[in-house]
Amino acid sequence: MIKNKLIYSVLFSSLLFACSSNDTPEDTTPPSITCVDDINVSIDAIASDAVVTYNTPVGTDNVEAVTKQTEGLASGATFPLGTTTNTFTVTDGAGNKASCSFDVIVTRNAPTADVPYFIGEAPTPDGKKWSKLENLSDEFEQADGIDRTKWHTAPKITEEGWFWEGRPPGLFIEESITVDDGKLKIEADKLPATVVQNGKSYDYTGGIVRSKEQCKVGYYYECKMRANKTFMSSTFWMMTEENACPKRTELDIQECVGEINPDAPAWVSTGKWDQIFHSNAFHRTSCANDTATRKQDAIETAKNWSDFFVYGFWWKSETELWFYFNGELAYKIDNPTTDFDIPMYYNLAVETYDWNPPQTDGKDMEGLTKDERSTQYEWIRTWKLEDE
Active site residues: 250, 255
Closest CA to 233 of 212, 202, 194, 259: 259
Distance between CA 32 and CA 242 in Å, rounded? 74
Region class of 48: left (phi > 0), else alpha (psi between -120 and 50), else beta: alpha
Distance between CA 34 and CA 92 in Å, rounded? 16
Chain centroid to CA 308: 7
C-alpha distances (whole Å) from 277 to each of 163, 254, 305 are 28, 6, 12
Closest CA to 378 of 106, 113, 32: 113
Q: For the range 236-240, what are the long-range contacts, defined as Cβ-Cβ under 8 Å and sequence gap of 24 or more?
A: 236/311, 236/346, 236/348, 236/377, 236/380, 237/346, 237/347, 237/349, 238/344, 238/345, 238/346, 238/347, 239/344, 239/345, 239/347, 240/342, 240/343, 240/344, 240/345
Q: For the range 318-321, what are the long-range contacts, defined as Cβ-Cβ under 8 Å and sequence gap of 24 or more?
A: 318/217, 321/251, 321/279, 321/281
**Residue 276: other Cβ atoms inside 10 A:** 18
3-state secondary structure 300-366: ECCCCCCCCEEEEEEEEECCEEEEEECCEEEEEEECCCCCCCCCEEEEEEECCCCCCCCCCCCCCCC
Contacts of 291 (CB under 8 A, 6+ apart): 284, 285
Contact 187, 176 (CB under 8 A): yes
Contacts of 28 (CB under 8 A, 6+ apart): 94, 96
161 residue type, one letter? G
